[in-house]
Amino acid sequence: MAAMDENDRVLYVQILAQMLIADGVLADDERAHLDRVAGSLGMPEDEKQNALKGVSLDSPVEERVAALSDDAKSNLLVEVEKALHVDGDMSNSEKYFLERVRKLVG
């Protein structure tokens, strides 16, 4: 994965976090996965904490995906699909979120 700038890292982690909470719960293994992704992006801890403060179920995922660079978008769908399988269960809300991201990245 190409190095991302701060804006891309924040948006990327926010999108993944939003997807992980789509079922209303952020399980321990989902949180650990999010931490691993943030670490792999070289995201400093304070940047990650600030990014996560801006996440809710009602966050505008369309705006976030649109604001990503093309490089970040190219990796996003794979990462979202990986994250969906972390807790071993895919809720209908998570499936819906995945379909939205697929259309936006498309």
Domain extents in the chain:
26-52+60-105
Q: What is the mean pLDDT of residues 82-90?
A: 80
Model pLDDT for residues 23-55, shown as the tens digit of each residue: 888 889 989 999 999 999 999 999 999 999 988
What are the helix (H) ranges across 54-91?
Answer: 61-67, 70-84
Does the pLDDT value for residue 2 go beyond 60? no
